[in-house]
Amino acid sequence: MSEIMDDKRRERRVEEYNDITISVISRKKNLPKGKVFHNCSEDISASGTRICANSFFPVDTLLKMDIKLENTHQIITATGKVKWFKTIFENEWYEGGVEFVDTSGDMIKKLSDHIMSVLNSNSEDFYYSYIT
């Protein structure tokens, strides 16, 4: 279930697990260009997402991401730049922050609409659980 993240980011963020397909598009050396990775995002906003991955991506790596949104099953295609990355489980599982860059306004609008829908749904769930 989605939850609202309480932090000081510039965009509202929701905790939501989305399937994500990642392709490396950076021209950096020693990166698996074009290889497709099937992973997940753990939270998402209109400006970025936190991903879990089975491969390490250095800071500033450019990624093409196809994100299947949890509730609507819409596919959002976005280009992202790795802002931070850390090891979660030794050489097998990683977590990182990716900022959306060079992503179409249409995709950002779809993502923003999705986030607002999740936030509104969470507000209704809270209201109904409070009055019953």
- Any idea what the CATH number is for the domain that residue 35 is in? 2.40.10.220
Rounded Cα gap, residues 87 and 17, in angstroms: 19
* CA 32, chain centre distance (Å): 20
Average pLDDT over residues 22-49: 82
**For residue 24, what are the domain limits?**
15-131
Please state the domain count of the chain. Answer: 1
Residue 15 confidence (pLDDT): 87
**Does the residue 3 lie in any domain?**
no
pTM for this entry = 0.80
* CA 129, chain centre distance (Å): 28
Select from 52, 112, 107 the least CA-distant residue to 78.
107
- Which residue in the block uniquely carries the two structure tokens 């850390």? 86
Select from 97, 89, 93, 108 the least CA-distant residue to 41.
97
What digits encode the pLDDT tens for the residues 101-116?
998 989 889 998 988 8
Residue 100's pLDDT band, with cuts at 50, 70 and 90, is very high
Provide the strand spans (E) within the chain. Answer: 3-4, 14-24, 36-44, 48-53, 62-68, 75-89, 93-100
What digits encode the pLDDT tens for the residues 50-97?
999 988 889 999 999 999 998 788 899 999 999 999 999 887 889 999
Residue 18's pLDDT band, with cuts at 50, 70 and 90, is very high
Q: Are 53 and 41 in contact, with CB atoms under 8 Å apart?
A: no
Residue 10 confidence (pLDDT): 64
**Does the residue 106 lie in any domain?**
yes
